[in-house]
Structure 1
């Protein structure tokens, strides 16, 4: 029997935390079914409009953005954007004729999933966080499946639709064994030193960057390596600050494409607590200090972080306390190999390396 020519639409984006899981799902579909046709739908002007084509997939943009917490012109135009995006979503689905649709979160996910459910197209939500967003809560009753990463999600979604899969991550993150020598060479770091990795998410994180900049001299004097992903906005300042230190073992980057090597090099990771970052840390099995962003809906990063902290799988430093406490906590952890071992062991138990495969299998059942 000839293989079915599958057609899927994957919608969502806004940050790397939505885009990279979406691309991981697409790559797994193509691995299993090379002839499958995949179309992405994102938000105009957002990161996915460049990152998705770089990954080799076509994307169409919707005129959509999120609601701001304060009264702005964007908020006044929000109803018009929603209507425009839903109308365009109907047309995209009618033209592309997908077998099923996936929503990974982000601005474009809502209109596309809404249109798909109205048109009777099988649909699946991939909820990455430990606290469900408003859009996914509203759509959960209409979609066919909800793939989740945390076992506490039954309070948000219909139980019969939930599948506990974990979050999809890039395949290279699941294959770190033996990569440390390559990683140290790639970043030009001394393999005999402890290495910190600071990652503030794809858009950067002001608190992490400012705290790290203040700690550079101590990092250098203590003889540690530092891999520092700053985000585009903070990179010029960070690069200048790093160059002022009398060492070549502090490396600042606006964006790290080889995150597999960054994790392989790291002994201790300092990170925001986005769902993707946490899933990657679990797979990388690294001692982590999490600094949840306060600038996210319903404080979901704190909830993500607490899911690990309660199992002694990570350390939490509040954003408002980071300038005083973050690097003192980091230096203390660097000296405490027993604590590192406990964190490494506990975070590894939360890893779900087959998450991407499990999500794609659920999707194929719908198609």
Structure 2
């Protein structure tokens, strides 16, 4: 008979925190069909929409991160933190979880802190090669810390670390078989190069500016484009939809088809994106965001580039280097194959199952 465990999860702000949490929940649900799940996110962030779409209940906390510059939002942070801790305590007291799982993002701090203070076993899933301040603080009380990169004992207690990789959407594991179907799904021409442009769920301003500027260049290279410009930029760039072999999307719900259709990918280097691209095994040009804590996207990308498994162009070098580097890559099927083969060797495909194994141990040890 399936155990009626209560499992609470928190992660959000971006797709990179939300989808790993959903993937873990789905795996645990398949093991414990009678378990009860509750997500905790930040009010007004995308998890409040995406988690219910995945079939789970979510409660929102009034919380945001600390801004790097001195702003009015920072003045509100202490009040938001107190409010979030108070509400997280109410949620935990009411739900009475058997285990708490955090995948990063603003809301996971208050929720995991409260859970740990009530002796509820907690697991942190750290996606980046350089952890944020929230997970560094939470690590002291967490029972297990699942990581995707080597060398994190610099930040976390070594005896708690398990290298699992990052959870990814299960549909990505068999994309090779979907290429023809995917090209038809996007109405793409077979036999013509397809470029997939990804800037994260909200969008990447600098990547969008680059693609707009290089549309004529890419058209001359005879390339068709799937351009996910993001929620913040869709109104600005949708005018290019169905012009010069371009398809513009606010958000791609069928990521398995998008990856399957692509020959080359231009992407940010958030942890989840990097993990997915390793599994996908296509040649990638990383354009890391320089506007993130500790410049962790550059560190994530360099971990791949240093094994000759991807290319990297910094934002500041895009105007000078993009056309030259990109045209060289397009002109060299050998280089494309080399990058694709090498990045696939870095894939950790069993991450979701391994993390669920660790959660299961915590549940059984707590009974």
- Scaled to the shorter chain, the TM-score interval is over 0.9
2:66 matches 1:67 = yes
2:277 maps to 281
Matching residue of 1:169: 168
Are residues 1:111 and 2:107 paired? no
Q: Distance in 2 between matches of 1:126 and 1:310?
A: 24
* Aligned: 1:8 with 2:4: no
Contact kept in structure 1, 2:147 and 2:163, CA below 8 Å: yes
Q: Retained in 2: the 8 A contact 1:210–1:323?
A: no
Question: Post-superposition shift, 1:236?
Answer: 2.8
1:327 Cα deviation after fit: 3.9
Normalised TM-score (structure 2): 0.97
Aligned to 2:260: 264
Once residues 83 and 233 of structure 2 are traced to their aligned partners in structure 1, the CA distance between those partners, rounded to angstroms, is: 34
The CA RMSD measured in Å over matched residues stands at 1.1
Structure 2 alignment gaps of length 5 or more? none
Deviation of the 1:338 alpha carbon: 1.2
Partner of 1:295: 291
1:347 aligns with 2:351: no
Q: TM-score, normalised by structure 1?
A: 0.97
Residue pairs, 1:1-367, within 5 angstroms: 2-243=1-242, 245=243, 247=244, 249-367=245-363
**Cα offset, 1:242, TM superposition:** 4.3
**1:213 and 1:251 mapped to 2: Cα distance?**
12
Distance 1:187 1:64 in 2: 38
Report the Cα offset of residue 177 of structure 1. 2.4
The Cα of 1:238 is off from its aligned counterpart by 2.1
Task: Name segments (4+ residues, structure 1) moved above 6 Å.
Answer: none
Separation in 1, partners of 2:103, 2:223: 37
Number of equivalenced pairs = 363
Q: How far did 1:288 drift?
A: 0.4
**TM-aligned CA deviation for residue 89 of structure 1:** 1.0
Deviations 1:188-243 (A, max 9, x none): 00011111100001110011111001111122222111111001222233221345
1:91-122 residue CA offsets vs partner (Å, 9 max, x unmatched): 11111111100010000010011001100000
3-state DSSP class of the match of 1:166?
coil
Cα offset, 1:68, TM superposition: 0.5
Contact 1:216 1:242 in 2 (8 A): no
Deviation of 1:50 (Å): 0.7
Contact 2:226 2:247 in 1 (8 A): yes
Q: CA deviation at 1:330?
A: 2.0
Q: Please tell me whether the aligned partners of residues 240 and 247 of structure 2 are also in contact (alpha carbons under 8 angstroms).
A: no
